[in-house]
Amino acid sequence: MARSKGRDSRPVYSTELGRLCPQCQRALAQCVCGKARPASTGDGVVRIRRETKGRGGKAVTVIDGLPLPPDQLKALARELKKRCGVGGSSRDGSIEIQGDARDTLKQELEKRGYQVKLAGG
């Protein structure tokens, strides 16, 4: 089966250099992006899911897959919390918003140009 190269096709690993930075395409050890480098780019789809595990039954909406550096992720989390009128945090490359606000968050992220999917039940 032939492999087609799409517009978003880029190398992620080199046998000479190892893993490559998704932004500057250099080896991770030689990356010039520093802290501005996104945690992970994933497949380009932002996923929104609801979790209750380990939170005493309280619902939390988790947003994963945002290709943003940590400082921009924190700023986006702040804006989304204001939009929903609730608390939350950004940690480990994801945003956690208190309560079940999946529909509101999906609309807001689509307005900002992200491809969004609701994950889970």
Q: What is the pTM of this model?
A: 0.66
| Contact between residue 71 and residue 39 where contact means Cβ atoms under 8 Å apart | no
* Cα(69)–Cα(39) distance, integer angstroms: 6
Bridge-based pairing state of the strands 88-91 and 94-98: antiparallel
- For 55, which DSSP code? T
Which residue segments constitute the domains of the chain, with CATH numbers given?
A: 11-37 (no CATH), 45-118 (3.30.780.10)
Element (H, E) at 76: helix 70-84
Q: Give the confidence band of 17 by pLDDT, cuts at 50, 70, 90.
A: low
* Cα(21)–Cα(74) distance, integer angstroms: 21
Q: In this predicted model, what pLDDT tens digit does every residue of 42-82 receive, in sequence order?
A: 677 899 999 988 888 889 999 998 888 888 899 999 999 99
Q: In this predicted model, what pLDDT tens digit does every residue of 100-118 receive, in sequence order?
A: 999 999 999 999 888 999 9
Looking at residue 1, its pLDDT comes to 41
Looking at residue 4, its pLDDT comes to 52
Looking at residue 40, its pLDDT comes to 56
Indicate whether 9 pLDDT > 70.
no
* Cα(102)–Cα(106) distance, integer angstroms: 6
Looking at residue 35, its pLDDT comes to 60
